[in-house]
Chains A and B, each alone.
Chain A
């Protein structure tokens, strides 16, 4: 690989990652789970995991990519794909622009190629800051294009899921993305290729009921909320309080829907190991 290009790409990703570093606080960070105050630098050094209680702060998409991909290997796919307004929904365009300004993202998903432990793969990352990571037609399209790119180039696929559910302003077309992405994964899988989905906090709604749940291997970050219906809706429907830990990553592991709960500090190594284990003929 040409090292000048690699360096440039690395700088670009580092810059983007720095920008979307959205853990609250300037010098001090308060953990929303345990309420303890920590030096922000110390939290950052721990990959944004609370040193007190192990709470995993949500990460921006580029930040996540910078933690997972080998240095210099990042190449973004379909960066310029923008959200549409298919239902001409009042006020939606303005909201999109505001979200774009606030986050520096074009949509709630970033897709890229890169290497993890030296092995080339396609990686998609959802970002819950952009419309709560909801599934728009553009998110569905980006994920589908990433799946198709991986299928065409015979690369393993890793998707980091984070979603509050449907993009209300796109209505039924948001729903159709579930069918589109799932169908693309079916074709991908028929080629004998590996798909790892990584569920991060929160993974709910249509994303759970499509690509998040279709991984050959499903990993989850500790404490991540994972479910189809959100806890509030369930509570309203059944009229009782939900048990402690309900729909969390550990609960999903116990109920058979997650292969392994992997702390952030071990995620990169785990992914690298899984890619190695799935190399054809077991070459190392």
Chain B
């Protein structure tokens, strides 16, 4: 398993039979109650969310939804949320804050939907608002990147105390195809892009962008979904137990610092502003 290339992992991460949010909800939680709608405009099936029991503890569960059949995929817009999806997610997170329950998010999306209506209703504002609000939640927040996590569309559910990543999941600024087409004007060079983007779970763990790597069965999660879900359960319960020992304000403060530190390697050169002469 150690010798997969980044491009091979991208292919596994996108496998149509890879466990999706519905599988994780069935396998990890009991008594899931789905909550729909952003209370402003509409229901976005590209994000699934609700309340459930996790080892008998009430939690808020939110995840992007990719379908396994063509029909299902079309219904949930291939897992590409619009602003309504992000606003629903935020509504559920605020509820989690109110009822003092942990937030568990599952990310598998090729990105936020680049559509006319999504723009008209403020895709950028919706994502920004989630980043802003998630950074100050005072309940534990754990994100599991289960498949693809692309762009601000993934990050909008991933400002978490712990970001866990399945071994063959990928997390990136955008798809390798998009990356190659922007940088080299040639989407066909996507495999080359995969190699440079540092998008695999081991790479991101080394960069400090993620906090843990969840092992997958040989060949990928789709070959043994039940085993994969057991591994996710093991990691989730371990991290959740640690976070539940912390006070709410402490969680928010540490989460802030975690993201605050990202990409400051060069800031040593930054002198503090001098006082007025």
Report A's interface with B, CB cutoff 8 A.
1-2, 5, 75, 77-78, 80-84, 86-87, 89-90, 113, 136-138, 140-142, 144-145, 149, 166, 168-180, 182-187, 190, 205-206, 208-214, 227-229, 233-234, 237-238, 242, 246-247, 255-257
Cross-chain contact B133 with A172 (CB below 8 angstroms): no
* Complex contact A87–B198 (CB within 8 A): yes
Which B-chain residue is minimally distant from A204 (CB atoms)? B124
When chains A and B are docked, how far (Å) is the Cα of A136 from the Cα of B182? 16
Known: A182-B131, A209-B123. A238 touches B271 (CB 8 A): no
Of B14-22, B49-57, B108-116, B232-240, the one with at least 4 CB within 8 A of chain A: B108-116
Pair A212/B124 contact, Cβ less than 8 Å: yes
Contact B198 A229 (CB under 8 A): no
Q: Are B151 and A175 in contact (CB under 8 A)?
A: yes
Cα–Cα distance between A86 and B207 once the two chains are bound (Å): 9
Asked whether B120 is an interface residue with its Cβ less than 8 Å from the other chain, the reply is yes
CA distance A268 to B123 in the complex (A): 29
> Interface residue count for B (Cβ, 8 Å)?
56
Most buried by B among A78, A80, A172, A227: A172
* Contact among A2, A113, A187, A228 for B152, CB-based, below 8 A: A228
A83 touches B155 (CB 8 A): no
Please determine whether B128 and A81 come into contact, CB atoms closer than 8 angstroms: no
The docked-state distance in angstroms from the alpha carbon of A2 to that of B152 is 46
How distant is the Cα of A156 from the Cα of B258 in the complex, in angstroms? 26
Beyond A173-B209, A176-B259, 10 additional contacts (C-beta under 8 Å) are A145-B267, A145-B270, A172-B172, A176-B155, A178-B131, A180-B260, A186-B136, A206-B152, A227-B124, A228-B119
B residues near A242, Cβ cutoff 8 Å: 116
Q: What would 10 A/B residue contacts be, using CB atoms closer than 8 Å?
A: A78-B273, A86-B207, A137-B262, A178-B127, A183-B136, A183-B260, A213-B124, A213-B125, A228-B114, A229-B118
Q: Which residue of A lies closest to B269 (CB)?
A: A80
CA gap between A172 and B169 in the complex, in Å: 14
A171-B173, A233-B114 known; A81-B270 Cβ under 8 A: yes
Residue among A141, A233, A256 making CB contact with B264, cutoff 8 Å: A141
For A1, list chain B residues within 8 Å (CB).
276
Question: Which of B155, B173, B267 interacts with A179 by CB under 8 Å?
Answer: B155
The answer to whether B131 and A183 have CB atoms under 8 Å apart is yes
Chain B's closest residue to A251 (CB) is B120
